[in-house]
Every structure is written in C-alpha cells, then in structure tokens.
C-alpha cells in the first residue's frame, strides 16, 4: 500500500490516514465531505419540484439547507502563544479530569479534557498545538452516545499523538458517537502541523478528547462552550 495512505475499514466506519492538503487548506464554505450529500439533497429537491410535489420539495429543500449548515467550515484564526493548547473541536466541555496513573492514551499521568459536539456544532476538527504527528492509531469499538462516559473507553476512535517542540507529547482522540459512523483524518504520521489547522472531521455528533502532561495548566471549565482553533483550553508548562 502507498506510504501516504492507510485505510481501516469495517462495516460501519471508514477511516483514512492521508495527507490531504485540499481539505486541510479548504477554501469552500463547507467541508468537501459534504459535497455528495449536498448534491443529492439539491437533486431530490428539484426532482420533487419538477414533478409538482411542492410539499415534498419544500421538505427536501429544508433538509438540504441543514446538510449545508452541518458541513459548514468557517475560517478560523488565532494569535496564541507557543505553549497554548486550543480545543480541537467546537462544542461543550464535558469534563476535565486529572488522571493519576498511566492507564490512558498518553501512557503517563495526564490531564484529560473531553469535548462533546452536537449535530448543531461545526464538525471540522483542528490541531490543538503545533508540532509533528508521531503516531496515528485506529481502534474499533462500539457506538454509544458520545456524551456518555463509557463512550470514551468503548467507542470506535482514532488516536493522534503529537510531539511538541521540546519533546513534550500530547494525544487527541476523535471518538465516534451514536450516529457518527465515519471519522476522517487528513494528516499522516510525520506531518508537520500548526495550531488551528484542519486535520479531520467526524460526521453527525461525536466527541474529542485531549490528553496533556499532568504539569500542564488547564483553564477550560465543564459546560463551557468552545470553538475549534480559537478557544484556549490550557497551557503546557
């Protein structure tokens, strides 16, 4: 298989590990993953309209507008310091935990921040801090609702380990939810990435988690609303 692409496939989820600059540097108002859905929605709307089924045409049109809304991909910018950690996802902070043992994706005592994305949030994920992608690991699993605690341990997920300059490691995890059955990852191992750049997307409600060294300073609070690539959730020491 080509070096720049690894595909993990099961009956429910397709994950691509691929350096995809067209998506990372997207200039469209919506994520390119949404284009097939948008085109189908528009085609169905015009089909019903052409046949004279006005009510069905209106319903299909409303659904098409929602699809465009769901896949929206607004430009984001930030002027954060080198040690600042941004949220990788829009949504709401579910919890901030201090993990005292090594039984976590970072493999050492860590601070964990969990973010829940509802279907109304922007679903494009962004890099929390600049560095080099050291490892990407896909883990099959279940599809519990992403706002439940057990989703963190049991749901299908994609773990990304990043080395920040100075050899500090962090891990951020894309977690599938009850409806989300596809995780897209647009970076690959060895990629140099910048804070706030796009790196992936999860469709239809999901969860992101960030694991930081336990000497980091977390400023995020449970129930806080956050915006990917803009909101600072903490600082590395």
Catalytic residue chosen out of the listed positions 114, 191, 206, 216? 206
DSSP type of residue 149: H
Q: Edge-to-edge, what's the strand order for the sheet holding 124-126?
A: 5-9, 14-18, 183-185, 198-202, 124-126
**Which positions ≥6 away from 39 have C-beta within 8 Å?**
none
Q: Is 114 a catalytic residue?
A: no
Q: How many CB atoms lie within 10 A of CB 159?
A: 18
Q: Which two tokens stand for residue 111?
A: 């601070």
Give the residue ranges of DSSP H helices in the chain.
Answer: 21-24, 35-51, 54-70, 149-154
Q: Which residues are catalytic?
A: 206
């Amino acid at each position: 298989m080509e070096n720049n692409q690894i595909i993990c496939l099961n009956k429910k989820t397709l994950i691509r590990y691929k350096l995809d600059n067209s998506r990372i540097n997207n200039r469209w108002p919506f994520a390119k993953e949404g284009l097939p859905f948008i085109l189908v929605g528009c085609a169905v709307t015009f089909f019903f309209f052409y046949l004279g089924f006005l009510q069905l045409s209106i319903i299909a049109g409303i659904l098409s507008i929602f699809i465009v809304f769901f896949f929206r991909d607004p430009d984001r910018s930030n002027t954060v310091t080198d040690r600042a950690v941004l949220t990788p996802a829009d949504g709401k902070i579910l919890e901030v935990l201090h993990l005292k043992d090594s039984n976590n994706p970072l493999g050492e005592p860590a601070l964990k921040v969990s973010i829940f994305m509802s279907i109304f949030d922007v679903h494009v994920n962004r890099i929390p801090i600049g560095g080099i992608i050291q490892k990407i690991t896909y883990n099959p699993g279940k599809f519990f609702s992403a706002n439940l605690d057990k989703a963190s341990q049991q749901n299908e997920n994609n773990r990304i380990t990043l080395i920040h300059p100075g050899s500090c490691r962090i891990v951020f995890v894309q977690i599938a939810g009850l409806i989300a059955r596809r995780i897209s990852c647009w970076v690959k191992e060895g990629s140099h990435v910048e804070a706030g750049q796009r790196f992936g997307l999860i469709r239809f409600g999901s969860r992101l988690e960030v694991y930081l060294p336990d000497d980091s300073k977390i400023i995020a609070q449970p129930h806080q609303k956050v915006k990917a690539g803009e909101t600072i959730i903490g600082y590395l020491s």
